Chain A
């Protein structure tokens, strides 16, 4: 399928600008170049046209490998100051297109919102090209437009991809957004591209094409957003915890006469004022049922409810918000998959691979499904470092394996799953992958388009949202193949007395009046976390989690479960631990007496505790509002607690 060969852009004054390539103007010596640039450029132009236009006015943009300069010209006509670059032989074509469109080379003088365009030579990969790149970047660039195609040579190397990514990086400052429209000539090219951009950029996001007209939704071109966001300084990080803390009302209280130190975030997180306000506003201003009435309040409620779905979709970078199914919680989301996909696709002898570290929510539904279908449950164990043993998983998969369902981040061990390895093992035998992302989505950037899983589930109340709502993300074609689960209103298309037809996902799985206020609250929580930035949240929690681990590990008689923070994929900002000679509930009871809230028990991972050979553990877990002062107070109270039991002679 080929993209359309021109793009029409409606301008504010009612005129339509047609951006059209003229392939015949490309010199014959550049055979083929036009054909491949053509579509990538159009896709990029279409993507830019689908974004809010006003944001381009006055922006400085550099277009790479421009060919005829389609995307750059369009951006200039929308008010940006664009430098359109390519090899010298292409420059006359670009120059001609600039003139044909009446674009001046100096900003502020054109009728197109002051946009301007100029052609400059940049042939990346050619000797000394980084000097040209540096010259172009000497004035800060807001937007880099990079539509191109690169190749892999016979021995699997791709210097052109490397040069391309280095050029992109060279043009980017901390505020620059680099949009890449990348034609995939082979999967190897993509591999090299992702590897190189992962190395050069702190954020690599594959963009959804679902908002583009159908004719641009071509499979062989992918859109990426690259950003070289600088890691926040340690000072900024320290201030972040205090700032968020100030916005979370419940944290400011005395418990048993002590300032509350809340370290039970892996069980549930506290809610910022913004989330509480969003839920209150719904009840006070537009409480109404959704998807039904035509009256104004109902329309507002429906808009807000669906906007929340969109926010969740954007938060995990789903290709479309139709891939987000609201559920009561993550457990219900897993049950949904188990009772729809599971019961319809599993048969006697099929294998489901889980781990010994599963939360009961990702264990019991599969036990029930296995009982009904005759499928067999298999469990991977832990490595010496107490991470999930993916090597064991690789040796366990076989043609009978139909599903691998694992925690993305363990709620007890804090270990981070090697998802690419799990996905590769699953793909090798055609098995599906479900990730329990309850402990990852609230704490790190999760991009379902690059993750590789088929479904993920997460829970609102663990991500600063309200209780009573969670979500299932699934690839749309997969959701479409799943039959309804619970019947009721909302999920139907047409109902007759003896049968019904069902709505498309996600509505198919949302029977009855949903948790409207809770969905809106979850949307507000996504907004709140996004406004901080999940990279920043993750960086903050990495820091506080490492501090917690190190402080706790230094307390005599303490054993912490799971890998150290120096493990290749790190560990979550939580620590399940035991004190030698003490029961976890005794530790947490006295900690509570000192105002410190930690979890004690089996954390819904009884088999894991059995595997570790302990009846229970205590667990301290952080959020983005956990400060070093909180950790210090916890450690001091823990030392007091241990001293107390030692003094009484109970250890």
Chain B
């Protein structure tokens, strides 16, 4: 079932999930997450603004989309928490270059495949879920703006 779910994800995100699934040990998976964090391109200081801020996270997280002429969305992100930044990096790498439709159809439950024990219950502590939902909302807004 996980395999079927995985295949519904954008190819770039599937690749990341695969990279986590071959790591057996939880600490090694966290290490991998931190490598993703390190790879995340720096977000411009002027993009750390309230419009880009993910509300409801204990750590501070910002995400910013850009709808390019190719009709695809490209992301930048940042966080003051390293692990949250790693999760942001997964989403930035996995969802950059996706069509808005692809972004909007990503089910939050894919995070369970990463083996990082991320909860999917909405709460003030749930960085990942809030981040994905924010990215999907920003995508919708971009689409609406481009159609208008």
Write the residues of chain A forming the contact surface with B, with a CB cutoff of 8 angstroms. Answer: 256, 582-586, 589-590, 593, 600-602, 615-616, 644-645, 648-650
Contacts and interface: CB of A to CB of B under 8 A. Distances in A.
A584 B84 CA distance: 11
A644 B27 contact: yes
Interface residues of B, number: 20
B26 A615 contact: no
Given A602-B58, A615-B60, A650-B38, A644 B80 contact: no
Given A585-B59, A645-B82, 19 more contacts: A256-B26, A582-B82, A583-B59, A583-B82, A584-B58, A585-B58, A585-B81, A585-B83, A585-B84, A586-B82, A590-B30, A593-B27, A593-B30, A593-B117, A601-B124, A648-B31, A648-B35, A650-B37, A650-B38
B30 A615 contact: no
A586 B61 CA distance: 13
Nearest to A256: B26
A616 B81 CA distance: 10
Contacts of B35: 648
Contact of A615 (B38, B80, B117, B125): B80
A40 to B, nearest CB: 57
A145 B12 CA distance: 84
11 contacts: A256-B117, A582-B82, A585-B58, A585-B83, A590-B27, A593-B30, A601-B58, A615-B60, A644-B30, A644-B31, A645-B82
A648 B58 contact: no
B113 interface: no
Interface of B: 26-27, 30-31, 34-35, 37-38, 58-60, 80-84, 117, 124-125, 127
A616 B59 contact: yes
Contacts of A583: 59, 80-84
Contacts of B37: 650
Contacts of A615: 59-60, 80
A650 B82 contact: yes
Nearest to B83: A586
B81 A586 contact: yes
Nearest to B79: A583
A584 B31 CA distance: 17
A593 B30 CA distance: 10
A600 B80 CA distance: 14
Nearest to B32: A648
A650 B58 contact: no
Given A601-B125, A644-B27, A644-B31, A649 B82 contact: no
Interface centre among B60, B81, B125 (most CB of A within 10 A): B81
Centre residue among A584, A585, A590 by max chain B CB count within 10 A = A585
A593 B31 CA distance: 13
Contacts of B127: 585
A575 B78 CA distance: 29
Contacts of A616: 58-59
Nearest to B118: A589
A589 B125 CA distance: 11
Contacts of B80: 583, 615
Contacts of B27: 590, 593, 644
A649 B38 CA distance: 9
Contacts of B59: 583, 585, 615-616
A590 B86 CA distance: 14
B69 to A, nearest CB: 36
A150 to B, nearest CB: 58
A583 B59 CA distance: 8
Contacts of A601: 58, 124-125
B115 to A, nearest CB: 11
B37 to A, nearest CB: 7
A618 to B, nearest CB: 11
Contacts of B26: 256, 593
A255 to B, nearest CB: 10
A645 B34 CA distance: 8
A601 B84 CA distance: 13
Contacts of B82: 582-583, 586, 645, 650
A648 B125 contact: no
Contacts of A644: 27, 30-31
Contacts of A645: 34, 82
A616 B117 CA distance: 22
A600 B34 CA distance: 19
A642 to B, nearest CB: 12
A585 B127 CA distance: 10
A35 B46 CA distance: 83
Contacts of B124: 601
A589 B82 CA distance: 11
Nearest first, the 9 closest Cβ-Cβ pairs linking A and B are A583-B81, A601-B58, A648-B34, A650-B82, A586-B83, A650-B34, A586-B82, A585-B81, A585-B59
